[in-house]
Amino acid sequence: MQQIRLIAIDLDGTLLNSDKDISAYNLAVLRRAIAAGVYVAISSGRRYADVTAISERIAPGQPIICSNGAMACTQNPFELVYCECLSKEKLRAVVGVLEKESCYYHVYCDDGSVMESRTANPGKKRKLNCYDYAGDILTGDEMPKYVGDGALKVVCFTPDIEKLQRIRAGMETVGGLEVSSSWWDNLEMLAGGVHKGAALHALADKLGIPIGQTMAIGDNENDLSMLRAAGLSVAMGNASDAIKAQVNYVTATNDEDGVGRAIAKLVLNSEEGETP
């Protein structure tokens, strides 16, 4: 196995435990890896500001991948490495499907802001998703007017599985989209070919790191692209069997320090559970 020089790590269900926090053990291992010269890139569906805040808590200056792979950047110094948006035409088509289904959704803009739809029950979803967006709340026909050059992604939420299936089918008729899910109650729409795997390739190239010397850790469908791209792929113990079947290694769950245990064993050559 090649030496690992860049690790891309998902947040929810992966690095973050059920309390939405990073355990002391995981934090210690990540900082030890960074001290050893390994880049640790948080790779999340969340927006730039949210991902950066968590990354900076681990260690200043580490690269990040945000908006489910629509954006990647280095932080020290800051440089935008990868940024791919949905065109306004595609955004109108996506929003049209969601409005037809009366599904609540967010639009992530290229300036880092987030716009909310007026549909469904945003108050409940905000609470469930641990977010409190202070941005504009708009109707579907208003969305394309305020996204600047384009939207990084659109994410919709509903507990209605049949509705999600209809929405996914509707997005197939739109075409030219990357559609994935980060949890059972959502779908995320990005421009075609835009995902965490593409962002990881761009970031590794910028850092001068062969893709074979990268590692990816995740738990859900939207992590598959980076798991497939990385030289070493790790699934969390809480991931589905379908995800586990496509990786090199399965670690413990997100409540059992799975990220730290995998990095300790596979990158730092320490025993799992032992702080290296």
Please compute the mean of the pLDDT values over residues 98-117 and round it to a whole number: 85
Element at 240 (helix H, strand E): none
Pairing of strands 64-66, 71-75: antiparallel
Are 53 and 182 members of one domain?
no
pLDDT digits (tens, 9 = 90+) for 175-216: 999 999 988 889 999 999 999 999 999 999 999 999 999 999
CB 137 within 8 A of CB 114: no
pLDDT digits (tens, 9 = 90+) for 150-178: 789 999 988 899 999 999 999 999 999 99
Are 220 and 129 members of one domain?
no
Q: Give phi and psi for 123, each to the nearest 5.
A: -60, -45
Taking CA atoms, 226 is separated from 8, 104, 113, in Å, by 8, 27, 25
Are 26 and 120 members of one domain?
no
Which structural domain range is residue 182 located in? 88-191
Nearest to 113 by CA among 48, 187, 43: 48
Confidence of residue 128 (pLDDT cuts 50, 70, 90): very low
Are 92 and 79 members of one domain?
no
Answer with the one of 191, 216, 239 that is the final residue of a domain. 191
Q: Which long-range contacts (CB under 8 A, 24 or more apart) does 165-170 make?
A: 166/101, 167/97, 167/98, 167/101, 167/103, 170/97, 170/100, 170/101
pLDDT digits (tens, 9 = 90+) for 239-273: 999 999 999 999 999 999 999 999 999 999 876 55
Answer with the one of 138, 161, 191 that is the final residue of a domain. 191
Q: How many whole angstroms separate alpha carbon 112 and alpha carbon 151?
A: 10
pLDDT at 117: 81
Confidence of residue 112 (pLDDT cuts 50, 70, 90): confident
Please compute the mean of the pLDDT values over residues 119-126 and round it to a whole number: 56
Who's near 55: CB < 8 A, 6+ residues apart?
A: 40, 41, 42, 62, 64, 75
Taking CA atoms, 18 is separated from 11, 130, 238, 271, in Å, by 11, 12, 11, 24
Q: Is residue 31 part of a domain?
A: yes
Are 95 and 184 members of one domain?
yes
pTM above 0.85, yes or no: yes
pLDDT at 105: 87
β-strand partners of 75: 78
Q: Is residue 275 part of a domain?
A: no
β-strand partners of 79: 74
Nearest to 223 by CA among 65, 95, 34: 65
Structure tokens at 72: 């990647």
Greater confidence (276 vs 57) lies with 57
Are 204 and 184 members of one domain?
no
pLDDT digits (tens, 9 = 90+) for 54-103: 999 999 999 999 999 999 999 988 999 999 999 988 998 999 999 899 88
Are 99 and 172 members of one domain?
yes
CB 115 within 8 A of CB 146: yes
Q: How many whole angstroms separate alpha carbon 104 and alpha carbon 112?
A: 20
Q: Is the pLDDT of residue 134 over 80?
A: no
Please compute the mean of the pLDDT values over residues 217-226 and round it to a whole number: 96
Angle at 29 between CA 26 and CA 30, to 5 degrees: 85
Nearest to 192 by CA among 73, 84, 106, 92: 84
pLDDT digits (tens, 9 = 90+) for 3-31: 999 999 999 999 999 999 999 999 999 99
Domains in the chain: how many in total?
2
Element at 57 (helix H, strand E): helix 48-58
Question: What's the mean pLDDT when you consider all of the chain?
Answer: 89
Q: How many whole angstroms separate alpha carbon 203 and alpha carbon 183?
A: 25
